[in-house]
Amino acid sequence: MNKRIAAMAIGLTALFASFDPAQAVLIFASDYLGNVAKYETTTGSLSALGSLNGFTIGKVMGMAYDGTTNSILLIDRNGRNVYSMNVQTGVASSLFSLSRPFQGGAVKGGRLYVIDETYQTMEAFSLSDFGAQGLSGGIAPDHTHAIGVNKSTGQLYSMANHNFRHVSDDGVFGNSFLTTTGSIFNDIDYLAGDFVGVVQGSGITRIDGVTGDVSSLVTRDELLAVGVDTITIAGQGVAVVVPEPSPLTLLSVLFGFLIVTFRKWEAHRLPGTAKK
């Protein structure tokens, strides 16, 4: 009987695991007009998500993922506005206006972090009341467009003049380089110890977090085929979405834990008590 119970538990674990969709990392990239593509790392599929057609766009120069609303935020630097686009439906809306030309983009702790193009300082805006937070950090060491965030640890990063740096929550740029690469990206985000970036005339690039070596995830022609033009004008955004474990994944882990616990209990029962 116990063997049947154990076999049933193993079968349920396999069942939940087999019906649990792969928890793919999603990478979103936009061109300067706010046409957005979605790249799924597990399957390699690329598709159009949505666009900012219908809005008057200056130049999108940054993107960030807001997990609270499950949307990507597109920063229109020249139009001085932030737009929100649902990552499932692609429906876009105007979120709030900006008083200055900001770019880049990273969401952490209910704040949208951006770079002031003119003064080259970092600012953060509350995503509840859209008020500027008045960060105390100084001027960036190099002219900076691109920022990103490790969504697990909350560490902010910047990229400028081929170099990646840490940035504090107050907007203080680190003095040392994390890694150096051959290109200068318009926007970046963090991906499992590495970075992803976009730059004019190219597609979506992965940058090794240690060596700085680059590899192509999506080519510019592939982006162009789904309506994202990274060739015409320098202005793009990129954002990485790392999904939380699904309920099926958590149930699978729970069943696995119960199996191990049951087997340990059975192995430590006193001799002569086992059921036939």
**Of 4, 18, 16, residue with least CA distance to 254:** 16
Residues 64, 250: Cα–Cα separation, whole Å? 27
For residue range 113-136, list pLDDT tens digits in order.
999 999 999 999 999 999 999 999
Determine the average pLDDT of the residues in 190-204.
91
pLDDT at 239: 85
Determine the average pLDDT of the residues in 152-168.
95
Determine the average pLDDT of the residues in 13-32.
61
Contact indicator for 115, 102 with CB cutoff of 8 Å: yes
pLDDT at 240: 87
Determine the average pLDDT of the residues in 240-247.
63
Amino acid at 68: T
For residue range 54-86, list pLDDT tens digits in order.
999 999 999 999 999 999 999 999 999 999 999
For residue range 32-57, list pLDDT tens digits in order.
999 999 999 999 999 999 999 999 99
Residues 242, 235: Cα–Cα separation, whole Å? 24
- pLDDT surpasses 90 at 12: no
Beta-carbon neighbour count of residue 217 at 10 Å?
A: 18
- pLDDT surpasses 80 at 224: yes
Determine the average pLDDT of the residues in 170-196.
94
Handedness of CA 20, 22, 25, 29 (dihedral sign): negative
Q: State how far the alpha carbon of 232 is from the alpha carbons of 8, 77, 199, 222, 243, in Å.
A: 59, 17, 11, 15, 32
Report phi then psi at 240, rounded to 5. Answer: -105, 135
Determine the average pLDDT of the residues in 228-254.
64
pLDDT at 202: 87
* pLDDT > 70: percent of the chain: 78
Q: Is 253 exposed, middle or buried (0-12, 13-18, 19+ CB in 10 A)?
A: middle
For residue range 248-261, list pLDDT tens digits in order.
444 444 444 455 45
Assigned token pair, 37: 């593509």
Amino acid at 41: T
Residues 204, 36: Cα–Cα separation, whole Å? 12
- pLDDT surpasses 70 at 111: yes
* Predicted structure pTM score: 0.80
* pLDDT > 90: percent of the chain: 71
Determine the average pLDDT of the residues in 194-202.
90
Q: State how far the alpha carbon of 122 is from the alpha carbons of 17, 75, 136, 257, in Å.
A: 43, 14, 9, 45
- pLDDT surpasses 90 at 100: yes
**Where is 10: in which H helix or E strand?**
helix 2-19
pLDDT at 55: 97
Tokens 């049947």, residue located = 4
- pLDDT surpasses 80 at 10: no
Contact indicator for 214, 183 with CB cutoff of 8 Å: yes
Contact indicator for 31, 235 with CB cutoff of 8 Å: yes
Provide the pairing of β-strand 179-180 with 163-167. antiparallel
**Confidence band for 266, pLDDT divided at 50, 70 and 90:** low
pLDDT at 74: 97
pLDDT at 242: 72
Residues 17, 19: Cα–Cα separation, whole Å? 6
Q: How far apart are the first and last CA of the chain?
A: 7
**Of 36, 64, 62, 63, residue with least CA distance to 50:** 36
Determine the average pLDDT of the residues in 205-215.
95
pLDDT at 265: 53
Superfamily of domain 24-244: TolB, C-terminal domain (2.120.10.30)
